[in-house]
Amino acid sequence: MPTNISRRDVLKNLAMGVTVGSSLRLIPLQAAELAHRMVSEERAQSPDGAYKPKFFTPHAYQTLRSLCQTIIPPDSETGGAIEAGAPEFIDLLTSENEDYQLTLGGGIAWLDSLCSDRYGKVYLDCSAADQKAVLDLIAYRDNARKDPALGQGVNFFASLRDFTTDGFVTPEIGIKYLQYIGNTYLAEFPGCPPLPES
């Protein structure tokens, strides 16, 4: 058994399995944490602090960023999917998994094709109203039942929502947003609060 296994190999293997009972939708927590750590290290080593996409073309990556921002926009309490590094997280995992490449890479191509057929331009070049109209079509599974031609788009957007959520909740920004305290040490357990008397 080889002892010199790269972090990329670990990431690739972890990204292939889903942990049953995990709070994450698609991948195990260990893979999510490793992916975020790898992205942070790459940014730290880059002269301009930027992440260079591993799978998506520049156009597809900008589309991915736009979609992630639409799925989890920033609010008054915290940043959104972009600030949490969800696009980088998704790109890195997608670069290591052929199924993700088909679902997400193919989904972005499908989205651009649909927009080109309907509006004569790719998704990013459409107006905000046209983008919303297209996303409303693929955001609901019932729409694919009514129009099977939307099936790939519906599956793509459902997967992208799960990936974006996973990419948002696993770094520090998401943990703070969720007010997750499971990683903290308690000197003693205070017990359950008393039940209100009726």
* pLDDT averages per 10-residue partition of the chain, 198 residues: 44 42 50 75 83 94 96 84 90 88 95 97 97 95 92 94 83 46 60 75
Q: Does residue 48 form part of some domain?
A: yes
The predicted model scores a pTM of 0.72
pLDDT at 42: 82
Domains held by the chain: number: 1
Q: Does residue 66 form part of some domain?
A: yes
pLDDT at 118: 96
Q: Does residue 117 form part of some domain?
A: yes
Distance between CA atoms of residues 2 and 130, nearest Å: 52
Q: Does residue 149 form part of some domain?
A: yes
End-to-end CA distance of the chain: give it in Å, rounded. 63
Domain span at residue 115 reads: 7-178
